[in-house]
Structure 1
Amino acid sequence: MPLIITACAVVLLIILISKFRMNTFISLLIISIFAAICFGIPLNNIAQLLEAGIGGTLGHIALIFGLGAMLGRLVADAGGAQQISMVLIDKFGTTKIQLAVLIASFIIGIAMFFEVGLVLLLPIIFSIAKEMKIAPLYLGIPMTASLLSAHCFLPPHPGPTVIAGEYGANIGTVLLYGIIVAIPTVIIAGLLFPKIVKRIIPNAFERNGNISTLGTTTVFKNEELPSFSISLFTAMLPVILMMGGTISTIVADFINFKGIYILNLIEFIGKPSIAMIISILVAMYTMGIKRNISVKHIMTSCSTAVAAIAMMLLIIGGGGAFKQVLIDGGVGQYISVLFEGSSVSPIILAWCVAAILRISLGSATVAAISTSGLIIPLLSTYDANLALVTLATGAGSTIASHVNDAAFWMVKEYFGLTMKETFFTWTLMSTIQAICGLLFILLLEIFV
């Protein structure tokens, strides 16, 4: 019965979002109340349950997510992202242009959320494609592969950050393992896949695309740009600090001595919240004050960034409410009993559940958060690596982006593709990422 109620709730959620075009956050709240009633949760407890789910989820990520958005906006508004892209493309040259776009997009993708990175990079790759007389999609697949991989594997992006918090995984470890998994995954999906799909559907690589709907984008002159080293350092600082904190913890545990002040200090500044606070302060200086940009202008960029993610925060909170209802409704416990004594890995199970929800719901973030409500009770019965379960959930949530995902339509329209071409390029690429991600996670499990 719990699984039937869950399935009905998911179907109803799809209907509300797809057919009735209802806001995702409101839909999640309606479905959460519906499911809670069906699970037999007392009416007097439902409101408190929703508040606990929203508060518990946002409490994990609000600071990291908000500061991450500000950091990305500051780097973009100062021209740092443009500098990183152009320098790498210039260094690699025309013969390795795809690799240059792949690396630049991956670096920028760490600092910026998927939609922001896409809008920022599209004018750059369209300009390069025009100069080189090649189709924008030739560079678009490496770009979107990198951005999607960062979005689903690497903190401070919402999916992996939320899931790490829900599972109790160390965010620094998730970041470290995420980079190890993401690099080969992106190479396959972003560099090898285009060579194959170009033979299958060559017409897609003849489209000129159209980004006029993006409006006027700011293009900086070379003398207006911050230096490459400063831009790269600012964008990568959260990664450096969080990975440093994780490595410090590993070293302290290995030598069985936690009293070394310098290790404790590195571990402290590597905490995700502290790392993001330090990073945003550094970005305010390197991308703003140092370049004679007024504090008022810097704060405007920060405010704009937060305003842009407000709805996403609400959706994540709504996903947290639904997750809490699934947990309190006993769905996860039911699945735990169902798989008791089973040899099925929680990594594979998390990937499968996230993949099913992703295909059904469209949103990778909502799919990942909802998965946690079903998987958390299982984790107490398995000796699972929580960081790898987090990454598996993220990998499953990338699969088969199709018509119920806004990113599908963005890619279709910007690159001027037909429906068939979008399925063969974007949808297939996201599926390859999901499968390769799972395979590399399972491979990594052998060593960690």
Structure 2
Amino acid sequence: MPAVHGSLLLLYALIAVIALVVLIARFKLNPFITLMVVSILLAIAVGMPIPTIVKSFETGVGGALGHIAIVVGLGTMLGKMMAESGGAERIARTLIGFFGPKNVHWAMMCVAFLVGLPVFFEVGFVLLIPIAFNVARRTGTSMIRVGIPMVAGLSVVHGLVPPHPAALLAVTAYNADIGRTVLFALIVGIPTAVIAGPLFARLIEKYVVLSGENPIADQFVEQEAANAGRALPGFGITLLTVLLPVVLMLLGSWADVIAAPKTPLNDLLRLIGHPDMALLLAVLLSFYTFGKARGFSRDSILKFTNECLAPTAGITLVVGAGAGFGRILMDSGVSTAIVDVATGAHVPLLLLAWLVAALIRVATGSATVAMTTAAGIIAPIAAAATGTRPELLVLATGAGSVVLSHVNDGGFWLIKEYFNMSVPQTFKTWTVCETIISVTALLLTMGLATVV
């Protein structure tokens, strides 16, 4: 056990976070190296046993990259194939034509909200980021104005709406009705996404101006000359390829409805519905729909899939290091100290659920960990209390779980690297966006509690 406890432990954690921000933003140190060094120094400072420090960091990195590395790799390949074939251009043109060039930020929010329903945030992000890059390029719009509504839509459904695993676990913990939970989540989530997405993006794009150079975007954005003299793929086949992972994951989540549990069909649906498998199958399909069917040779397809991975190496390492830092915070006892502070406060149940989830989120960097842990803490208190709908407790807990994303959150670094932002710019955009989502969803949930 760490030798430091209580408020001193929280102080050390705060100093570590400030040190990360200063070293990366002010002194321009490599984020991966900085995260690793600060994590180890924090662990030593709070008195974690020396033999466990590196293992703890590795556990955090491995736990994150076991999922993130596969998702980023396969999602990048799918995006690259879509860009090279003209599929991204086709979707961009169709979206612009339907919503109009002035309303592309609304288009991206709507698409993200729908695509994000059955998928994890990271999966939805890598599916949609090529489209966002192309829409921004086609309309001459800032990536802030296009990208922030996209990540806002994804984050809202990730935090509030079943069938996301964390939300489903909270539904079970609180013994809530899933149908009413989904209904209430949409009532709260849609206006929340509007405020944190298109409205916030229009405001913040005036103050955050991104560099014109973005090596990640160059992997996905087609050059105008590449489209000259060749037909683009159809909108239907493009949408089918891009949304195949979403469809497969929906089938996986409905496996018990379609087939009896533990039957071969049920097992097959669960297999193809796993995010990694769903993305793999979509990439394989794209080799035909975006590759062979568009006249590309096997050598060309191999070249595309190889060259698109190099720019993602840094992203993957930084996301893993962020998770490693989060694990050090957990194993050092910061999470426990935060929970003790939250549960000791005498506040209304909805606010308490939000507060516990929010503090765990700030400490660990994981919305899923925050939501599931907070639900486990609050559920016994809720069972002994009366007057609060369990469905609203799910929403309050989910709202708290997305607040104040910062340097210990893999999503923070994912957004920073893909958008090619500095750390301060990421705080001004992504962190504020997440906090707007959290606070707005809490206020709307509390308002809903007065009428249902």
TM normalised by structure 1 equals 0.68
Given that residues 81 and 108 in structure 1 are in contact (C-alpha distance below 8 angstroms), is that contact kept between their aligned partners in structure 2?
A: no
For 2:377, what is the secondary structure of its paired residue? Answer: coil
Q: CA deviation at 1:318?
A: 0.9
Residues 113 and 225 (structure 1 numbering): CA distance in 2 closer, same or farther, change over 3 Å? same
Find out whether 1:287 has 2:301 as its counterpart: no
Residues 112 and 352 (structure 1 numbering): CA distance in 2 closer, same or farther, change over 3 Å? same
Deviates more, 1:208-217 or 1:31-40: 208-217
Rounded Cα–Cα distance in structure 1 between residues aligned with 2:84 and 2:445:
35
Q: CA deviation at 1:312?
A: 1.4
Rounded Cα–Cα distance in structure 2 between residues aligned with 1:27 and 1:48:
18
Counterpart of 2:300?
297
C-alpha offsets along residues 233-286 of structure 1, whole Å, 9 cap, x if unaligned?
A: 11111112112221334x36xx9x425654443333111121111111111111
C-alpha offsets along residues 175-219 of structure 1, whole Å, 9 cap, x if unaligned?
A: x99x95765444445555688x6xxx9x969xx999588889512
How big is the alpha-carbon RMSD for the aligned residues of Structure 1 and Structure 2? 5.0
For 2:136, what is the secondary structure of its paired residue? Answer: helix
Rounded Cα–Cα distance in structure 1 between residues aligned with 2:102 and 2:325:
49
> Any residues of structure 2 matched to 1:25-36 within 5 Å, and which?
25-36=32-43
Pick aligned residue for 2:25 from 18, 32, 43? 18
Counterpart of 1:53?
60
Q: CA deviation at 1:381?
A: 2.3
For 1:30, what is the secondary structure of its paired residue? Answer: helix
Counterpart of 1:363?
none
Deviates more, 1:277-286 or 1:217-226: 217-226
Pick aligned residue for 1:83 from 90, 104, 108? 90
Rounded Cα–Cα distance in structure 2 between residues aligned with 1:303 and 1:408:
18
Given that residues 170 and 375 in structure 2 are in contact (C-alpha distance below 8 angstroms), is that contact kept between their aligned partners in structure 1?
A: no
Counterpart of 1:243?
250
Q: CA deviation at 1:89?
A: 2.5
C-alpha offsets along residues 340-395 of structure 1, whole Å, 9 cap, x if unaligned?
A: 365444444434665x68xxxxxxxxx834x7777775554233988985675345
Aligned residues: 392
Residues 374 and 244 (structure 1 numbering): CA distance in 2 closer, same or farther, change over 3 Å? closer
Rounded Cα–Cα distance in structure 2 between residues aligned with 1:96 and 1:321:
39
Pick aligned residue for 1:74 from 73, 78, 81? 81
Deviates more, 1:278-287 or 1:292-301: 292-301
Q: CA deviation at 1:231?
A: 1.0
Counterpart of 1:381?
377
Residues 242 and 124 (structure 1 numbering): CA distance in 2 closer, same or farther, change over 3 Å? same
Rounded Cα–Cα distance in structure 2 between residues aligned with 1:82 and 1:441:
39
Residues 182 and 229 (structure 1 numbering): CA distance in 2 closer, same or farther, change over 3 Å? farther
Given that residues 327 and 373 in structure 1 are in contact (C-alpha distance below 8 angstroms), is that contact kept between their aligned partners in structure 2?
A: no
Residues 277 and 338 (structure 1 numbering): CA distance in 2 closer, same or farther, change over 3 Å? same
| One-letter amino acid matched to 1:229 | G
Counterpart of 1:4?
11
Q: CA deviation at 1:289?
A: 1.5
C-alpha offsets along residues 412-436 of structure 1, whole Å, 9 cap, x if unaligned?
A: 9xxxxxx9xx97x999767645544
Q: CA deviation at 1:124?
A: 0.1
Rounded Cα–Cα distance in structure 2 between residues aligned with 1:272 and 1:242:
6
| One-letter amino acid matched to 1:6 | A
Residues 264 and 272 (structure 1 numbering): CA distance in 2 closer, same or farther, change over 3 Å? same
Q: CA deviation at 1:228?
A: 0.5
Q: Structure 1 unaligned segments of length 5 or more: list them.
A: 127-135, 358-366, 413-418
| One-letter amino acid matched to 2:50 | L
Rounded Cα–Cα distance in structure 2 between residues aligned with 1:101 and 1:381:
36
For 2:246, what is the secondary structure of its paired residue? Answer: helix
| One-letter amino acid matched to 1:34 | L
Residues 288 and 15 (structure 1 numbering): CA distance in 2 closer, same or farther, change over 3 Å? same
Find out whether 1:258 has 2:261 as its counterpart: yes
Rounded Cα–Cα distance in structure 2 between residues aligned with 1:442 and 1:116:
37
Q: CA deviation at 1:328?
A: 1.6
Counterpart of 1:318?
321
Given that residues 148 and 433 in structure 2 are in contact (C-alpha distance below 8 angstroms), is that contact kept between their aligned partners in structure 1?
A: yes
TM normalised by structure 2 equals 0.68
Residues 408 and 301 (structure 1 numbering): CA distance in 2 closer, same or farther, change over 3 Å? closer
Counterpart of 1:132?
none
Rounded Cα–Cα distance in structure 2 between residues aligned with 1:66 and 1:281:
13
| One-letter amino acid matched to 2:61 | I
| One-letter amino acid matched to 2:377 | T
Find out whether 1:397 has 2:405 as its counterpart: yes
Given that residues 339 and 356 in structure 2 are in contact (C-alpha distance below 8 angstroms), is that contact kept between their aligned partners in structure 1?
A: no
| One-letter amino acid matched to 1:337 | D
Rounded Cα–Cα distance in structure 2 between residues aligned with 1:23 and 1:209:
20
Rounded Cα–Cα distance in structure 1 between residues aligned with 2:111 and 2:89:
9
Q: CA deviation at 1:60?
A: 3.1
Q: CA deviation at 1:146?
A: 2.9
Rounded Cα–Cα distance in structure 1 between residues aligned with 2:114 and 2:302:
24
Counterpart of 1:368?
365
Rounded Cα–Cα distance in structure 1 between residues aligned with 2:449 and 2:280:
32
Given that residues 82 and 286 in structure 2 are in contact (C-alpha distance below 8 angstroms), is that contact kept between their aligned partners in structure 1?
A: yes
C-alpha offsets along residues 53-105 of structure 1, whole Å, 9 cap, x if unaligned?
A: 21122123322232122212221222111101212333455796665565568
Q: Structure 2 unaligned segments of length 5 or more: list them.
A: 1-7, 117-123, 172-177, 380-389, 407-411
Residues 393 and 381 (structure 1 numbering): CA distance in 2 closer, same or farther, change over 3 Å? closer
Find out whether 1:275 has 2:252 as its counterpart: no
For 2:29, what is the secondary structure of its paired residue? Answer: coil
| One-letter amino acid matched to 1:265 | L
Residues 386 and 96 (structure 1 numbering): CA distance in 2 closer, same or farther, change over 3 Å? closer
Counterpart of 1:415?
none
Aligned residues with identical type, % of pairs: 27
Given that residues 153 and 395 in structure 1 are in contact (C-alpha distance below 8 angstroms), is that contact kept between their aligned partners in structure 2?
A: no
Counterpart of 1:123?
137
Rounded Cα–Cα distance in structure 2 between residues aligned with 1:32 and 1:12:
11
